Amino acid sequence: MEKLLLFITTLLFAGNAMAQQNGHTYVDGKKMEYIIDECGDTLLVANLNDISISSPVSFDNSDEYKRYRKYRRYAVKVHPYAVEAIRIFKEVEYATETMKKRERKKYLKKLQKDLKKEFADPLKKLTKTQGYILVKMIEKELDTPMYELIKDLRGAFTASYWNTFGRTFGYRLKDGYVPGEDKILDAVLNDLWL
């Protein structure tokens, strides 16, 4: 009985081992994996990028739909700036973790000078709404109000200055991103990957 059980087990494992054969082939100059299934079909194995699938957004009236389209267009425009800002912020946090206060201040001052050369002109050309969407994208991804980010990087006085300046345009930098506050903005931001 034991020999029969051993024979059946071995046969099952051998059958599975022969059912799929793995290998590599070149397709358009790229090395790709393939498997041959039990029917003899060759299947290429590929890693695909993630995609976002969301349910359609319903609008109460045409004005909301127009605002959605406007926010969407603006969000696509400022999306690269948000991605870059988040990347730079995370790098700065990592790089300045072990620095002393004086070194950190010097490092941030040099970085600000370099970033100003690169981003000052394009960011000055943004509309108020585009700036608002950019700020909300960053706040959503980092889960921190913009006021706190500025305070950590530049100090409380500078953060207060920008908060006061932002209030003249209707922004409240201390509030941060609040999901559900603006359902149209939520729909746009949920569709974009940061």
How many whole angstroms separate alpha carbon 123 and alpha carbon 85? 12
**Residue 24: CA count within 13 A, CB half-sphere:** 5
Give the C-alpha separation, 114 to 128, whole Å.
24
Share of the chain above pLDDT 70, in %: 87
What is the spatial distance between Cα 153 and Cα 90, in angstroms, rounded to a whole number? 12
pLDDT (tens digit, 9 = 90+) per residue, 57-83? 788 898 989 999 999 999 999 999 999
Domain ranges of the chain: 16-48, 62-191
Q: What is the pLDDT of residue 56?
A: 75
> What number of other Cβ atoms are within 10 A of residue 13's Cβ?
10
- Of the listed ranges 31-40, 67-76, 110-119, 132-141, the one predicted with least confidence: 31-40
- 103 Cβ partners below 8 Å, 6+ apart? 96
Summarize the chain as % helix, strand, coil (round to 5): 60, 10, 30
Biggest CA-to-CA distance, the chain: 87
Tell me which residue of 69, 67, 56 sits closest to 182, measured CA to CA.
Answer: 67
Q: What is the pLDDT of residues 5-58, one digit of tens each?
A: 656 666 566 555 554 577 777 878 888 888 888 888 888 787 777 776 777 778
d(CA 18, CA 162): 67
Q: 125 has which bridge partners?
A: none
Q: What sign does the dihedral 64-75-189-169 (CA atoms) show?
A: negative
What token pair was written down for 139? Answer: 């706040």
